[in-house]
Amino acid sequence: MPSTSRDPSPGALLSIGGFARLAGLSIGALRHYDSVGLLVPAVVDDATSYRRYGREQLETARSIAQLRELEVPLEEIREVLGADDMRRRRELLVRHRDRVGARVTRLHRVLHHLGHLIDPSAHDEETEMSDTATPELDPATQRAVAVALFNRVWELLEKPDRTGADDDELVNAAHASRHHWTSIGTPKHLAIGDWQISRAYSTLGRAEPAVHHARRCLDNATTVTDEPWLLASAYEGLARAYAVAGDRAAAQEWKAKAQTQIALDPDPDNREIVERDITSLPV
């Protein structure tokens, strides 16, 4: 199959879906970073337009993901990644930190005045208690934690020599990631979270919680009408969970639904990811 090499790199190449999972980035983000020249695939197939990335690109991709979570603009990320030395990189990050700090100060002032306008006496009482109260995580921090935990789960799932402690961390990290999406995520995020929990339990051979979370994934996936791959993944998750439970008929039924559903997705990258998961089903 013909392909166009773009900054080829040694070692095994990863599909855009597999690379996205390991890097903590969405497929859409990777496509955008390719279009602006920030993170170019190692190889792009001329016939199918499939993108392939080298594992050695993961460090750069994860750095980009981390900087985006810290709200660093893309052009500044380009500067940070291209900095010749640590001193220059530090200068760029300090500049961004100072800009964020100034914004935080302004917002605190806005909140203070709004509190007085809404209820002066209550606001004064809250101010007195603020030194001892435990602050809640802001949405940006919750999202960053959820993504980091999600990525950690994939690292553990792909670890060939997991220990018992790794298995415990696998389950705990999957649940924690899903928890952080509860208050800030969309049904899509919640479905993906439960799908990953189900995948973790299926991998560990624990059928009952695998089926339970696959069902929860399906409940949310059915409400997302513009992402055909998500429903296909929910079906795949149920097929895997029922296979682990020993219910071959149910596993075959959900596998067939997954195959039919993923064929409806027009995006070849989405199809490739889910089709790979379907192919790996123990059915």
DSSP, residue by residue, 216-255: HHHHHHTT-TT-HHHHHHHHHHHHHHHHHHT-HHHHHHHH
Whether residues 237 and 271 fall in one domain: yes
pLDDT above 70 (res 11):
no
Number of domain units in the chain = 3
CATH code where residue 202 lies: 1.25.40.10
Of the candidates 58, 229, 65, 231, the one whose C-alpha atom is nearest the C-alpha of residue 143 is 65
Residue 2 has pLDDT above 60, yes or no: no
Max Cα–Cα distance, the chain, nearest Å: 72
pLDDT average, residue stretch 203-226: 96
**205 assigned to some structural domain:** yes
In the three-class reduction of DSSP (H, G, I as helix; E, B as strand; rest coil), residue 74 is classed as: helix
152 & 202 share domain: yes
Angle between helices 248-262 and 268-279 (to 10 degrees): 170
Are both 171 and 269 inside the same structural domain? yes
Q: Examine the domain organization and report whether 58 and 107 are in the same domain.
A: no
CATH of the domain at 19: 1.10.1660.10
What is residue 122's predicted lDDT score, i.e. its pLDDT? 56
Range(s) of the domain holding residue 109: 83-129
The tens digit of pLDDT for each residue in 78-127 reads 999 998 888 888 888 888 888 877 777 777 777 776 777 777 665 555 55
Do 26 and 123 fall within a single domain?
no
pLDDT tens sequence across 23-63: 888 888 999 999 999 999 999 888 887 889 999 999 999 99
Rg (CA), the chain: 22
Asked whether residue 77 is domain-assigned, the answer is: no
Residue 42: how many CB atoms within 10 A of its CB?
21
What pLDDT, on the 0 to 100 scale, is given for residue 185?
Answer: 93
| Residue 147 sits in the same domain as residue 272 | yes
Same domain? 18 vs 59: yes
User: Could you report how far apart the first and last alpha carbons of the chain are, in Å?
Assistant: 30
Question: What's residue 136's pLDDT?
Answer: 64
Asked if residue 134 is part of any domain, the answer here is: no
Residue at 62: amino acid letter: R
Residue 166 pLDDT: 92
Cα 139 vs. chain centroid, distance in angstroms? Answer: 15
The verdict on residue 75 lying in a domain is no
CB neighbour list of residue 151: distance below 8 Å, 6 or more residues apart: 21, 22, 23, 24, 62
* pLDDT band at residue 6 using 50, 70 and 90 as cut-offs: very low
> Has residue 224 been placed in a domain?
yes
Boundary (domain end) residue, out of 59, 94, 129: 129
What mean pLDDT is predicted for residues 68-79?
89
